[in-house]
Amino acid sequence: MIYVYLFVSPFYMFALVTTRDWPALWVIGLMLMLFLVQFFHSGFRFWLDSSHASLLFFVAAYIAGTLLIVLTDHSVTLLGRSPGDRAITTLTRVLYVMVVYGLFVNFLADADSATLRRIFVVQIMIGAVIALFGIVQYITAAVFSWGGLIGIEGTNETFKMGSTFFGFGKTRLYRSAAIFQEPSAFGFFLVPLFLKVILSYMQNVVIVNRPFHLALVGIYVLAILFNFSLTAIFASAILMAVLVGTTFRGSRVVVGILFFSLLCLGLILLTPVGGLLLGRLDRVFSFSDVSTLDRLFRVYVGIMVFLKAPLIGVGPGYYGFLYPIYGGLERMVLATPLNIWLTILTDVGIVGIIPFLFFLRNIFRRARTNLAHNPLVRVYIWSTASFLLLLTTIDLWYLEVFWFEAAMLVVLSNGNFSELRHSTERVALA
């Protein structure tokens, strides 16, 4: 089931049956049923990692916040939604990722090193195929002015229009590269995979052989540059700068990759799209780019909302009702801060973010302590950290991808769970 999940996980911008589902959601449902069958068949035994304790307190904070919103008489409505409706939706998302994380840990717990490495390779190869598709789309559109491949892409209207992964429903319009509805979503997909191929090469975890592995690096670099998502480009630059500054072993490889990236960027700037990229960068740094201004304003509103109730927050999802009051630009959706940290702080305040920080501390501290367990531990430390950086600018924390990385990091740093027969992390319920 893990391999099935990996194959469908990139398609989180598409609906299958309803307007609010996505392929991975159905796979998670199947995984849950299999887990329950195994749970009863094994005499009520399952794997429970110590990091689950922090997430339980995190969920408890959201339950308390939701109850406060539901029991409070809010007369305000926005886009046909009440604060209670929004709070319950947000709580449902939190409960979902809690279940998802638990399922991933239990399905991965008995995997040996060879299986975990195979999962890593499958992730990289699936990502490379999608990255190549994005590169081909860019070339056909920018160089040959042909949109044949682009015609099958989903849009940011995928959910609202009810169009589906199989192409039924209303017409889709070209919006961005690869299979994603917008450039930032494609960047969110690419950056962690890019970090994986860099770190795995430095850890001597080579896919096929060194030339092939370096070719994968080139594919991801080109896909990020051709994507033109400033979020992806800046995140990659920040992470690579940190990597160069903190890593000595293999630093020549990193410098070579940086040189290759700059060379590719120079070639891109020679195309007509290069002028558009420079124009947008100029608007960003002159504070005249609408998208950048909207992101900055959402952060400002998030800080103001957090200061209204720093201890317990204003309630799950209530930020969306306050955003227009501060003069927000987006009026067609219930806005979010587009920042995981401000989302938690505005939803449940300091009380809610503390258990989430303890969760991160738990998994990263154990990973750093147990780097020798598996060479992929360092790889997943960086990929998980890259997700956290990206989640400061994009509102996709409720998808499974980040929680799968966290579960992989936990399992890799613990070694094979099946060897921990006397560990307190295994729970049997009578």
| pLDDT reported for residue 232 | 83
| pLDDT reported for residue 109 | 87
> What are the angstrom distances between the C-alpha of 204 and each of 1, 197, 201, 207, 400?
28, 10, 5, 9, 28
| pLDDT reported for residue 264 | 62
- pTM of the complete model: 0.82
Please name which of 332, 382, 283, 376 lies closest in space to residue 156, comparing C-alpha atoms.
332
Backbone angles phi, psi at 53, to 5 degrees: -60, -45
Cα–Cα distance, 122 to 334 (Å, whole number): 36
| pLDDT reported for residue 251 | 54
Q: For residue 36, count other CB atoms closer than 10 A to its CB.
A: 11
Q: For residue 332, count other CB atoms closer than 10 A to its CB.
A: 7
Q: Looking only at Cα atoms, what is the longest distance across the chain?
A: 68
| pLDDT reported for residue 290 | 58
| pLDDT reported for residue 420 | 46
Cα–Cα distance, 354 to 345 (Å, whole number): 10
pLDDT in 10s for each residue of the chain, 430 residues: 899 999 999 988 777 777 778 889 999 999 999 999 888 887 777 787 888 999 999 999 999 999 999 988 777 888 778 888 899 999 999 999 999 999 999 999 888 888 999 999 999 999 999 999 888 877 776 666 665 555 544 333 333 333 333 333 333 333 446 777 677 788 889 999 999 999 999 888 999 899 999 999 989 988 887 777 777 888 888 888 788 777 655 556 666 666 666 666 665 555 554 555 555 555 555 555 556 677 778 888 899 999 999 999 999 999 988 888 887 766 677 888 889 999 999 999 999 999 999 999 999 999 999 888 889 999 999 999 999 999 998 888 888 999 999 999 999 988 665 444 434 333 333 2
Query: H/E element holding 45?
Result: strand 45-47
Domain tally for the chain? Answer: 1
Is the C-alpha dihedral spanning 228, 232, 236, 237 positive or negative?
positive
Cα–Cα distance, 95 to 403 (Å, whole number): 13
Please name the residue ranges forming H helices in 162-228.
183-202, 210-227
The residue segments making up the domain with residue 72 are: 2-428
Tell me the DSSP string of 324-383: GGGT-S--SS----S-HHHHHHHHHHHHHHHHHHHHHHHHHHHHHHTGGG-THHHHHHHH
Cα–Cα distance, 318 to 70 (Å, whole number): 11
Cα–Cα distance, 138 to 131 (Å, whole number): 11
Residue 314 and residue 322 in contact, taking contact as beta carbons nearer than 8 Å: yes
Work out whether strand 45-47 and strand 426-428 pair parallel, antiparallel, or are unpaired: antiparallel
Please name which of 372, 388, 369 lies closest in space to residue 239, comparing C-alpha atoms.
388
The helix-helix angle for 113-142 and 400-414 (nearest 10°) equals 150
Cα–Cα distance, 218 to 197 (Å, whole number): 10
